[in-house]
Amino acid sequence: MRNPADPITTKGTTFDMSAASANTPEIKLQVNGLAKLYGQTTALDHVDLEVRKGELLTLLGPSGSGKTTLLQLICGLQEPTSGTVIIDGKDQTHAPVNKRDIGVVFQNYALFPHMTVAENVGFALKMRSLPKAEIDAKVNNALETVGLAHAASRSPSQLSGGQQQRVALARCLVYDPAIILMDEPLGALDAKLREVMQIEIKRIHRETGATIIFVTHDQQEALALSDRICLMNDGKIAQLGTPRQMYDEPQNLFVADFIGISSIIRGTVKAGALETAIGTLPIAGEGPANGTKGAIVVRPEVITLGEGFCEGRVRETVYGGSELRVIIDAGKQEIIARAPAQAGDVAVGSMVRFGWAPDTARFLADKG
């Protein structure tokens, strides 16, 4: 593996990394210009991505965005049309699946039904011809990590869905792969069990320091689990950042619309404000030039009901336990706000004023 302090050369230019290496996390996976074409269809469009050692990075996006294709190229299930896949400093672009030191956790668990839990977890070690005593010790440690040491002698059919998923994760952890890929691993679980497993995965990741790439289409799951999120769209990376950056600082309207709930109000800039169908809305800061077209993105939690610079009619309210989601019809614009569940002045059909502090909303200009 390349020493992080060694100079590197990219496109004829040499960079001395010694000064930055002390504060720069080690790169576990590097993807350079990775592309995949199926005939005339572009599934992945020259993607560049670095995954840091010990982080949990989520590949997020709608169906057809390219996240599954990227996962398959990383683990070797597909051959790229162009580009490189580098793991621990070694070019693995054309290496077979079994030579890449990657563990995969699938949605359907893929456990052997005729083996016990311990035998399932230790299978990869047995194939590597490790001594039995070493296999037993590693299996026990992996099962303790996922909280299933007590179930070592059971068969998979005797376990719940969440327990089977933890066995699948232990099977990856036991041989300490360079990277663990998790492909929609919680998709088959019910909502409550998904939440429990999210907490378990966060704990296991924190305790083991494993490098995990987690694939999902569920943005709430991505926000809950990730150190960083790689949001994909049309075979490209739409934005890469921490969950907080993705939610608070979306770089384009696709990100703002896909991550969380937003009211996206389109208009044209005039005299430092946005002229829209529901009125003139303030823009924080100096604002863009007159004539700029774009939209203000407003999250429900920053909207104040009962006062403000806009007015609309309450079309619907949705009870959510601790809060009430309020959907307001402001003419040609739907606005989504949140209020305490005990709020009594947001009856369906009533008129309500609303607004927000300018610095809590984000203006995004249309791409030219």
Residues 98 and 137 in one domain: yes
pLDDT the model gives residue 21: 43
- Residue 81 DSSP class: S
Lowest mean pLDDT among 30-34, 80-84, 168-172: 168-172
Residues 171 and 292 in one domain: no
Domain at 239, CATH number: 3.40.50.300
- 89 in a structural domain: yes
Query: Domains in the chain: how many in total?
Result: 2
Q: How many helices and strands (H and E) does the chain possess?
A: 9, 21
If you compute the radius of gyration of the chain from its CA atoms, what whole number of angstroms results?
A: 25
pLDDT the model gives residue 335: 96
Strands 263-270 and 323-329: unpaired
177-234 pLDDT tens trace: 999 999 888 887 788 888 888 998 999 999 899 999 999 989 999 999 999 999 999 9
Q: How far apart are CA 86 and CA 283, in angstroms?
A: 44
358 φ/ψ angles, rounded to the nearest 5 degrees: -55, -35
The secondary structure element, H or E, covering residue 100 is none
Task: Compute how many other C-beta atoms are within 10 angstroms of the C-beta atom of residue 298.
Answer: 23
pLDDT the model gives residue 23: 59
Of the residues 228, 253, 278, the one at which a domain ends: 253
Domain that holds residue 145: 28-253
Q: What is the pTM of this model?
A: 0.85
How confident is residue 176, by pLDDT bands cut at 50, 70 and 90?
confident
pLDDT above 70 (res 8)? no
How confident is residue 62, by pLDDT bands cut at 50, 70 and 90?
very high
290-319 pLDDT tens trace: 999 999 999 999 999 989 999 999 999 998
Lowest mean pLDDT among 98-102, 252-256, 345-349: 345-349
CB-based burial label for 315 (10 Å; 0-12, 13-18, 19+): middle
Of the residues 222, 253, 284, the one at which a domain ends: 253
23-53 pLDDT tens trace: 567 999 999 999 999 999 999 999 999 999 9
- 315 within 8 A of 346, measured Cβ to Cβ: no
| Interval 279-285 mean pLDDT | 91
Domain at 342, CATH number: 2.40.50.140
